[in-house]
Amino acid sequence: MTSNLTLALLQLPVGADVSLNVRRAVEGITQLKAENPELQLAILPESFNAPYGVEYFAKYAESIPDGATCRALSRLALQLGLYIIGGSIVERDAGKLYNTCTVWAPNGSLIGKHRKIHLFTMNIEAAHGGGVQFDEGAALTAGSELTVVKIGQHKVGIGICHDKRFEELARIYRNLGCSMLVYPSAFCICQGPMHWELLQRARATDNQLFVVTCSPARDNMSGYVAYGHSMIVDPWARVQREAGEGCEFIVEQIDFDMVEQVRRQIPIHQQRRTDVYAKARADS
């Protein structure tokens, strides 16, 4: 089993024209594959095909897998012979809306569909009135299933943005054999400086695996401003690559042998005191 994986993060701008947003993604991945024939996986941002906001979710929702965005990603995966983690789109199903990430195999088939489990709720108070509020749950329904996909021979756990705040989800993915976690993330600018890198490095060091995030490019004129700074964090919790704020593509090779090296050298999961934890839960 080869230990190396060449992946691309596409930190793309997102506007109100869905066809333009999807075309940018298709053209960007096509360009990167032409320039990097070894490319095996392309990752898109959360809400890459339409504006992110409660007021937009119903307007831009599509069905999966037969909506226009999914058809474009399926064709592209087949045409280029690579995996695509399709960021996320708003999915309409049986009268409900979900924030959903699709994963496509090199043969064009849908191999994973992750509905965001933890919907983003924020109510940050300002010192002198105002503040920032946001509630995905006002329009979206939370998912209830974990999503593990095989990228080549490696297991990858999928989350979306706010999912990465929940360490138990990442730990379960680790226990299921994942060596990388991928979170398409339109993380907001008000939290980004405090928690963006911190959360990714925390999930990486807790579970001794790669953590990868892909953000939309920052647009300071939009109603919801994404932080940017798409990132790859290695199992030592070091930032291996980081984008800036604007439109930017990253191509990077990661070595999954590092996962086993770290777990062997610092065997924290072999030292877990499940007996102590069980007693504490029983006593609480």
**Residue of 33, 91, 101, 116 with catalytic role:** 116
CA atoms within 13 A on the CB side of 11: 28
Active site residue 214: no
Active site residue 46: yes
Pair 85, 118: CB distance under 8 Å: no
Pair 46, 184: CB distance under 8 Å: yes
CA atoms within 13 A on the CB side of 158: 31
Q: Where are the alpha helices (DSSP H) in the chain?
A: 18-35, 54-60, 68-80, 167-175, 192-207, 257-265, 274-283
Pair 122, 88: CB distance under 8 Å: no
Check residue 176 and report its DSSP letter: T
**Residue of 33, 62, 136, 161 with catalytic role:** 161
C-alpha dihedral (74, 76, 225, 144), degrees to nearest 10: 20
Distance CA 244, CA 36 (A): 21
Tokens of 234: 């290695």
Asked if residue 65 has a cis previous peptide bond (ω within 30° of 0), the answer is: yes
**Residue of 46, 91, 242, 245 with catalytic role:** 46
Helix axes 68-80, 18-35, angle to 10 degrees: 10
Active site residue 247: no
Distance in Å from the first CA to the final CA of the chain: 45
Which residues carry out catalysis? 46, 116, 161
